[in-house]
Amino acid sequence: MRATFVLGRIAGVRIGVHWSVLFIFGLIALGLAEGRLPEVYPDRAWPVYWVAGIVAALIFFASLLAHELAHAVVARRNGVEVDDIVLWLLGGAARLKSEASGPGAELRIAGVGPLVSLLLGGFFGLGVWVLDLMSAPLIAVETVAWLAGINLLLAVFNAVPAAPLDGGRLLRAFLWWRTGDRLRATEGATAAGRAFGWLLVVLGLVAFMRSGTFGGLWIALIGWFLISAATAEGRQAQLRGVLAGVPVRDAMTPEPIAVPAGRTVAAFLDDPRYRYRHSAFPVTGEDGAPVGLLTFDGARKVPGERAHAVTVGEVMVPLSRTTVVAPDAPLADLLPRMEPGAEHRVLVVDDGRLAGIVSLSDVSRTVSWLMSDSRGYQGRP
Domain stops at, among 242, 268, 283? 242
Residues 13 and 151 reside in one and the same domain: yes
Concatenated DSSP letters of 142-164 = HHHHHHHHHHHHHHHHHTSS-TT
Q: What pLDDT does 381 receive?
A: 42
Question: 68 catalytic, yes or no?
Answer: yes
Q: What pLDDT does 370 receive?
A: 81
Q: What pLDDT does 379 receive?
A: 45
Is residue 23 situated within a structural domain? yes
Helical (H) or strand (E) element with 115: helix 103-133
Rounded-to-integer distance, Cα 352 and Cα 346, Å: 15
Please tell me which residue in 68, 99, 233, 343 is annotated as part of the active site. 68
Q: What pLDDT does 3 receive?
A: 66
Residues 235 and 262 reside in one and the same domain: no
Residues 36 and 128 reside in one and the same domain: yes
Residues 269 and 326 reside in one and the same domain: yes
Residues 133 and 180 reside in one and the same domain: no
Q: 276 lies in which domain range? A: 248-372
E strands, the chain, are 5-10, 13-17, 82-88, 91-96, 253-254, 259-260, 280-284, 290-295, 317-318, 324-325, 346-350, 353-358
Residues 205 and 122 reside in one and the same domain: no
CATH number at residue 328: 3.10.580.10
Is residue 164 situated within a structural domain? no
Q: What is the DSSP letter of 92?
A: E
Residues 234 and 281 reside in one and the same domain: no
Residues 57 and 152 reside in one and the same domain: yes
Q: What pLDDT does 373 receive?
A: 59
Is residue 165 situated within a structural domain? no
Q: Dmax of the chain from CA atoms?
A: 76
Q: Strands 280-284 and 13-17: what pairing?
A: unpaired
Residues 206 and 69 reside in one and the same domain: no
Q: What pLDDT does 376 receive?
A: 45
Q: What pLDDT does 189 receive?
A: 93
Q: Among candidates 337, 338, 352, 341, which has minimal Cα distance to 284?
A: 352
Residues 255 and 367 reside in one and the same domain: yes
- Cβ neighbors of 287 (< 8 A, separation 6 or more) are none
Residues 227 and 257 reside in one and the same domain: no
Strand order in the sheet with 13-17: 5-10, 13-17, 82-88, 91-96
Q: What pLDDT does 380 receive?
A: 43
Is residue 170 situated within a structural domain? no
Domain stops at, among 127, 159, 191? 159
User: What residue ranges of the chain have pLDDT lower than 70?
Assistant: 1-3, 89-90, 276-277, 373-381
pTM: 0.77
Is residue 238 situated within a structural domain? yes
Residues 236 and 256 reside in one and the same domain: no
Domain count, the chain: 3
Rounded-to-integer distance, Cα 349 and Cα 304, Å: 33
Q: How many CA atoms lie within 13 A of 234 on its CB side?
A: 18
Is residue 65 situated within a structural domain? yes
E strands, 113-215, are none
Rounded-to-integer distance, Cα 94 and Cα 84, Å: 6
Is residue 378 situated within a structural domain? no
Domain stops at, among 242, 264, 287? 242
In this structure, what are the phi and psi dihedrals at residue 281, rounded to the nearest 5 degrees? Answer: -135, 145
Rounded-to-integer distance, Cα 321 and Cα 234, Å: 27
Is residue 214 situated within a structural domain? yes
